[in-house]
Amino acid sequence: MSHPELSSIIVGIAYDNLKHSKIIQELFKPVTKLDLSPKCDDDQVKVWKEIHSCLDQLSSIETISDEMLPDFIKGLTNLEDCMDEIYSYFLKSEMLKNFVDGFSSLMPITIDNLTFIINMMSEDNVRHRAMLIEVIYYFNKNILKNVESNAPIVKYQNPDAWISG
């Protein structure tokens, strides 16, 4: 990105999401030992589509230009929304209890600590979404305004002179 102030925020969010990914991988390690054929519901398909859309966007470009930035950030915001919906759905569903019941013998997990972990990741997603929205506002307010105002300001002083400002 050509704007380091925006880039640092997005990189920070990416690291947070990498942390979430690692936590989920650790939680689901016991699942890899079982012979399961997972079925995806509409919400999960929506998340996968958002992830693949972001990946396709990222893999095809080297630098995110100013023109691409708002759409890119909106895509990341949608992804944060999708992940928060998945976490909320998991917490409200029977999957939480079934997961703990099924894997408590394989790893030290309780409903309380799993709920805490998922709630923390969900809260991170809500913060990420708010940060991304602020990035869009900042970009639209400051950066686009500065691009438009790069023309030199010339003021009329008197009939015989001009002032550059």
Full residue range of the structural domain in which residue 18 is found: 4-164
**pTM (2 d.p.):** 0.71
Q: Report the amino acid identity of residue 37.
A: S
Rounded percentage of the chain residues whose pLDDT exceeds 70: 78
Q: What is the DSSP letter of 29?
A: G
Q: For residue range 54-71, list pLDDT tens digits in order.
A: 777 767 777 777 788 888
Cα(45)–Cα(84) distance, rounded to whole angstroms? 14
Please report which confidence band the pLDDT of residue 143 belongs to, taking 50, 70 and 90 as the band edges: low
DSSP string, 121-155: HHHHHHHHHHHHHHHHHHIIIIIHHHHHTTSPPEE
Total count of domains within the chain: 1
- The pLDDT tens digits of the residues spanning 92-117 come to 988 888 888 888 887 888 899 999 99
Tell me the C-alpha distance between 136 and 58, whole Å. Answer: 18
DSSP code of residue 79: H
